Structures are given as C-alpha cells and as structure tokens.
Amino acid sequence: MDSKLFDHTILHADATEEEVARYCDEALKYNFMSVCVNPYYTAFVRDKLRGTILNVCTVIGFPLGQMSTTAKIMEAVVAIRDGADEIDMVMNIAALKDKKYDYVRDEIRRVVEVCETVMLKVIIEACLLTDEEKRIACQLAVEAGADYVKTSTGFSSGGATEGDVRLMREVVGKKIGVKASGGIRTREDALRMVKAGASRVGTSRTVEIFSNT
C-alpha cells in the first residue's frame, strides 16, 4: 500500500508539542502524504517539515461545522498564512439538513476562493446523514469547487465505512478525491477503504498500519 495515501493525523485536544513533533518524525520516516493537526500547530509543523516534500494539513470549522462562514474564511486565511498546504473543513451539517443548499454551496465556494492553490477537503460527517443527504452534500462540494470530500471528523458518533466511501465515490466520480477518516485502525481497514474508492486515508494509527506489514 502506497504511504502517500495517508494523512498522519493527530487532532486530540491534549496533543502536546512533543507528540506532534514525533508525528512529524514518523511521517518523514514512512513518507506519508501529510501531517494533519489542529490550527494551533500548523506553523510548528510547517517549521518541522520545511525543506521536505510532506504537506501540512490542518482543520477548520472543526469539529461541528457550525461556525459562521466568515469565521471559516478567517480560519482558512490564518491557516494558509501559517503554512498549510491542505485544509479539511467541516460542512455546516445543520444547514444541509435544513435543506439550505445554496448556503452550504456558497460557504464552500467562498472558502475555496480563499484557498486558491491550497487543497480543500470538505468533511460531510456521513454518520449524521441519510444516504440522500450524503449524495447532496457530495454534489454541493463538487459544484463549489472543493478538491475532496471526506467522510468524518472522527469526533462524532461514527467514522468511515466502506458503504459511505463507495457512495461518495459514486457521486463525485473522478472529479475530486474521497478521503476516508475516522475509526481506521488496521491495514485491513485501510485496504477496505481504498478498495471502496478512497484516494486518501486519515488516521492516527498510520505507523501501526505500516509497521505491521
């Protein structure tokens, strides 16, 4: 399995600088695609990875997605200033469920405009959606110009499933990427997600997956 499929992820609230530094070292050792951290650590990780080909990934609107659009835009601006190459943004799930599709699409589009050359992944938090809502969420992300749709934050009632990844890939086709994240703990888990259509996998267990192969 290609190590470049993986975002080496550390998002728990009590992550220390020492832990984040270790994740950077591990990502370099295994040649993962990125290190994914909370915004507080974006500049720190940028400094740790400077001069390497690894990406810095951070999150915005995390983990609930119900910040104002202006707040999400400002989070993206700061993340880019701090050196983010990739941003994972939580969609406003409440707005989607209220069928405020123009609002959801416009919010994603406005963050896309700020990101310019920075990759934007939209987290749809699939465990909270019906299959029809998942399809609509993915289509709105495509229409708004996002680079990826992502299954989960890992902080809600469920994580990635093969069925969700398959559904998301079916909706977006080859237009954009699909990231599976949340509850992926083993090599077998990761392989199932990739076979279902994931082009990126986010997990904190990345080293375990690779060291046991």
Q: Tell me the backbone φ, ψ of residue 81, rounded to 5 degrees.
A: -60, -35
Lookup result for tokens 């083993």:
186
- In the residue annotation, 150 being an active-site residue is answered as yes
- What pLDDT, on a 0 to 100 scale, did the predictor assign at position 96? 98
Query: For residues 197 and 16, is the Cβ–Cβ distance under 8 A?
Result: no
Taking the CA atoms of residue 151, residue 212, residue 29 and residue 152 in that order, the dihedral angle to the nearest 10 degrees is 10
Active site residue 121: no
Domains plus CATH for the chain?
58-211 (3.20.20.70)
**Which pLDDT score, from 0 to 100, does residue 1 have?**
85
pTM of the model: 0.97
pLDDT of residue 212: 67
Question: Along the chain (213 residues), what's the average pLDDT of each consecutive run of 10 residues?
Answer: 96 98 97 98 98 98 97 98 98 98 98 96 98 98 98 96 98 97 96 98 95 69
- Catalytic residue of the set 82, 85, 88, 164: 88
- Please tell me which residue in 48, 72, 121, 150 is annotated as part of the active site: 150
Coil, strand or helix at 86: strand
Q: Are 26 and 119 in contact (CB under 8 A)?
A: no
Note if 88 is an active site residue. yes
